[in-house]
Amino acid sequence: MESKKTSYRSKRPKIIPLKMDANFFFEKAMQSLDRYRYDKALKYFQRAVEYEPRNPINHCNMAGIYSEIGNYERSNEILFQIIDDIDPAMTECHFYMANNYANMEAFEEAEQALLRYLEKDPRGAFLEECEEMIEMLSYELERPIEIPHIKSREVFFEHDKARGFMEEGKFAEAVQLLKEITEKHPQFLAAYNNLALAYFYLDQMDLCMGAIEQVLAVEEGNVHALCNLAIVYKQQGEQEKLQQLLQLLRRTIPFHQEHVFKLAMTLGLLDEHRTAYLHFRRLMHSGEFAEDPCLHHYFAVASFHMNQYDQAKRYWEKARQLDTNSAVPSFYLSHFDMLCEEGKRKANAPVSYQYYLPFEERLREWGQKDSHLPADLIEDAILHSSLTWALQHGDESTKLQMIQIIGMLGGAEAEGMLRDCLKREDETDRVRQAAVYMLQSIGAKEPYLTRMDGKEVYVYATSSSELPEWKTQWQAVIDLATDAMRDRYDQCQKHDMQTLWKEFLGRVHPNVPTIQKPEGWAAALEYLTAQMHSSTITYTELSRRYGVTAPTIRRHVGKIDEICGLKEKMSNVFSPFQEQ
């Protein structure tokens, strides 16, 4: 009997004790949030508070749930408790209270909470959001909001201007302006975060990390800075650091929707699709971004990665309805069968969170530093199809980019695609101009057949002002300008520069000025090209880059402008088209 008893005990399964702590209940709360079970999530957060009553984050999560379900009064009670009893330094609670009061339409109380936040938090983590709330409260109260002892609105204007530079890809200009802002307003953390991004896009990683560290030294939980840091870790291959940071980001539940958006996008880019999906779904249910086509695209991509293909199609269709000018939703809908195999996601299907076509992301990764596209890009059927499709169906900006990429393909196929582009009668002059320039660049034989006003027309890439010969010193000017403009201008802008130079030479011939220092003329061409395309550039900057004096550049600019009459015909000069 004894031996049987021993044998029976040996077969009993081992019982692993369940560790009931704040982290356990936090995870349970997150699971409940995933299912929109706010009642259960609230109970679990309450249990987390019982285990860690002095942890303000647990209390803040409870306040966030109450706000989510519309119980703004209870949310504010908890936020007051945090400020009064737990952590007075958690000044963002005042901002959260202002949001709650605004949702309750208690606009006077919202104003007071907002002013308390601005007075107590000179670091300005929510300054951008405060500016939006100030405008809203001013409208609702029908009077201006008096804001003492904080930054003037000039800093907001300058910051918006810097963000505009970044959206246009003018990262060097953004860095210069953001550095000025941070020097004048070192507490403006939003400017540091955007400065970090600008450095990132310029591939200046040390400076990028420095800007991120400055933010985290002031506010270690800054969502934007942590998200930027995660992207940098991925870029630099710091897998161990990235995984540690991801553990934190997976557990983060931002209170403010702008932070939810930033976190969701970052997690998506880091292939954390499940968590990104949950955050995007939360935003979709909020109503604030209901008419944002980008968010519909992001949620469609997250749904696609979660194998919810019908839902992905619905949201791409909605994005297409909201943004009729974008080729992105239409591309994914028209190529959906190429992205899936037998009801499953195709391996390595290029479905990107970024709101542009699939090949564009690959090109950004590649860097466009060589003269030819990588072989794997050319051979990828989906990416190649997206490139061809965009040249036919994209907007003008997209088509101009496609022409530049097709030129990198080279060969007979590229020439055929460009010639087909010219034959489409509904193309804009600018697209035709770019196609002609690219055909010339790849050595395609002139003339080039196009259709305009229902007629077939032969066009040439050369200037209407023919020159009897082409001198090496003239070409040296083009070569210098092209090299200096390589990473700052697109192909069409460089084409405009060359056309301007040819027109100038043709008009002054045979009395062409002696080209003793081609750098000065090249700098003048870049200055005028920037002016034609409404870009900001200074003589001082050009002087530094080309190694000539500012007065020399200014003198050459005046000469070219005088001969070519740019001021009178800045908008639509330089058309290369002429009938044969």
Q: Over the stretch 545-556, which tens digit does the pLDDT of each residue have?
A: 899 888 889 889
Q: Could you tell me the CA-to-CA distances from 262 to 123, 224, 276 in Å, in that order?
A: 20, 7, 10
Q: What is the pLDDT of residue 369?
A: 42
Find how far residue 219's CA is from the centre of its chain: 24
Determine the length of the chain: 580
Q: How many CB atoms neighbour CB 364 within 10 A?
A: 12
**What number is the average pLDDT over the span 418-432?**
80
User: Contact at 8 Å (CB) between 273 and 345?
Assistant: no
Among 13-22, 60-69, 382-391, 441-450, the range with the most confident prediction by mean pLDDT is 60-69
Indicate if the pLDDT at residue 243 is higher than 90: yes
User: Contact at 8 Å (CB) between 212 and 225?
Assistant: yes
Contacting residues for 340 by C-beta, under 8 A, at least 6 apart: 309, 346, 349
Q: How many CB atoms neighbour CB 341 within 10 A?
A: 11
Q: What is the pLDDT of residue 123?
A: 53
State the pLDDT confidence band at 137, using cuts at 50, 70 and 90: confident
State the pLDDT confidence band at 220, using cuts at 50, 70 and 90: confident
More confident residue, 167 or 92: 92
Strands 448-452, 344-345: pairing kind:
unpaired
Q: What is the CA radius of gyration of the chain?
A: 30
3-state secondary structure of 344: strand
Structural domains in the chain? 17-90 (1.25.40.10), 358-459 (no CATH), 472-564 (1.10.472.10)
More confident residue, 265 or 503: 265
Residues 383, 388, 394, 400: what is their CA dihedral angle, to the nearest 10 degrees? 100
State the pLDDT confidence band at 577, using cuts at 50, 70 and 90: very low
Query: Residue 528 carries which side chain, given as an amino acid letter?
Result: L
- Round to the nearest angstrom and report the end-to-end CA distance of the chain: 111
Place of tokens 């697109």: 490
Q: What is the pLDDT of residue 580?
A: 24
User: What are residue 450's DSSP bridge partners?
Assistant: 457
Q: What is the mean pLDDT of the chain?
A: 78
Q: What global pTM score does this model have?
A: 0.52
**What number is the average pLDDT over the span 170-182?**
89
Q: Which ranges in 287-410 belong to alpha helices (H)?
A: 293-305, 309-322, 328-334, 336-339, 358-366, 375-379, 381-393, 396-409
H or E segment and range at residue 459: strand 455-459
- The predicted-structure confidence for 292-308, as pLDDT tens digits, reads as follows 888 999 999 999 989 89
Residue 179 buriedness (CB in 10 A; 0-12 / 13-18 / 19+): middle
| Nearest CA among 301, 335, 307 for reference residue 319 | 301
State the pLDDT confidence band at 459, using cuts at 50, 70 and 90: low
Question: b vs e for 530-546, b when ≥16 Cβ sit within 10 Å of the residue's Cβ?
Answer: bbbeebebebebbbeeb
- The predicted-structure confidence for 143-171, as pLDDT tens digits, reads as follows 877 765 454 456 767 887 888 888 777 88
Q: Which ranges in 70-126 belong to alpha helices (H)?
A: 72-81, 92-103, 107-120
Q: What is the pLDDT of residue 202?
A: 83
Find how far residue 580's CA is from the centre of its chain: 45
Q: Could you tell me the CA-to-CA distances from 34 to 29, 31, 227, 246, 330 in Å, in that order?
A: 9, 5, 21, 18, 30
Biggest CA–CA distance in the chain, Å, is: 119
**What number is the average pLDDT over the span 460-466?**
50
Place of tokens 């690959």: 362
Backbone φ, ψ for residue 163 (5° rounding): -65, -35
